[in-house]
Amino acid sequence: MSEKNDRAAWIKGGEVSCSNPPRTTPDRAWRLVLLGSPGVGKGTQAKLLHEQLGACHLSTGDIFRAAKILSERDRSPALNDALEYMRLGKLVPDTTVLDMVRERLHCLHCANGFLLDGFPRTVAQAEALEKLLQKEKLPLTAVLNYELPLEEIMSRLGGRRTCSGCKAVFHITNMPPRVEGVCNFCGAKLILREDDRPESIRVRMEAYEKSTRPLIEFYQKRGVLVSITAEGSPEEICRRTMSKLDSVIAA
């Protein structure tokens, strides 16, 4: 299986072609939504699941991050709208986020399936996505909800150190720099970001819990929610995820 997954079609939208080739022996298209709080490791799991399943990792966060360096002619209309809201310091409305996904509808039709990360974030978005997938005859396989105790999340995020120069990320225990407090790549000072401080993490977690709990209940009622303990190494968590997915298919 190819591990190429540059997601150009997802980042730019429009007529850009997907670089993720169909598997030579496809058995199913895995259509998954990934949920989990900041620091739980969704991005790492998405990469590992892509390698295991072939499904494309479709992250709305990646779109927003890439948008800032895309030229205006390379941005889709909805993405330009989203950037204007962000420039004004406003939240991007649900309708605009959904328009961004609609502009990339061909990505949801990927022959290998998709791993949708960062969307939906609200019940309103989930309801809109449900209607869109029903219209396109693309039923979800499962919604993966990665769970981790608050203490562990605080340890993961609180141990992060970010380079003040090139913005590379390290961790004081899991991925320490060669020289304490100094970036391996550019030699600049490593800093503790404001949103990685304990008081900030608690606020972020409270906000996540408040906004996501109704979303979890929404997918529980649909019978597609699969809860996964996110403790252990990334490989252990991925094996746990695959085991849960096998159980979903067998049910």
Residue of 7, 31, 42, 156 marked active site: 42
Three-class secondary structure assignment of the chain: CCCCCCCHHHHHCCCCCCCCCCCCCCCCCEEEEEEECCCCCHHHHHHHHHHHHCCEEEEHHHHHHHHCCCCHHHCCHHHHHHHHHHHCCCCCCHHHHHHHHHCCHHHHCCCCEEEEECCCCCHHHHHHHHHHHHHCCCCCCEEEEEECCHHHHHHHHHCEEEECCCCCEEECCCECCCECCECCCCCCEEECCHHHCHHHHHHHHHHHHHHHHHHHHHHHHHCCEEEEECCCCHHHHHHHHHHHHHHHHHC
Tell me if residue 42 is catalytic: yes
Residues 119-140: what's their mean pLDDT? Answer: 95
Tell me if residue 7 is catalytic: no
Q: What's residue 138's pLDDT?
A: 95
Residue type at position 18: C
Q: What structural domains and CATH numbers belong to the chain?
A: 8-148+224-250 (3.40.50.300)
Tell me if residue 160 is catalytic: yes
**Burial class (CB within 10 angstroms; exposed 0-12, middle 13-18, buried 19+) of 23:** middle
- Give the pLDDT confidence of 59-111 residue by residue, as tens digits: 888 888 777 777 777 788 888 898 889 888 888 899 999 998 998 888 899 88
Does the pLDDT of residue 6 top 60, yes or no? Answer: no
Q: What percent of the chain has pLDDT over 70?
A: 90
Q: What percent of the chain has pLDDT over 90?
A: 47
Residue of 12, 31, 160, 161 marked active site: 160
Residues 168-188: what's their mean pLDDT? Answer: 92
Q: What's residue 1's pLDDT?
A: 35
Q: What's residue 125's pLDDT?
A: 94
Residue of 23, 47, 102, 193 marked active site: 193
**What pTM, to 2 d.p., does this model score?**
0.83
Q: What's residue 129's pLDDT?
A: 96
Tell me if residue 204 is catalytic: yes
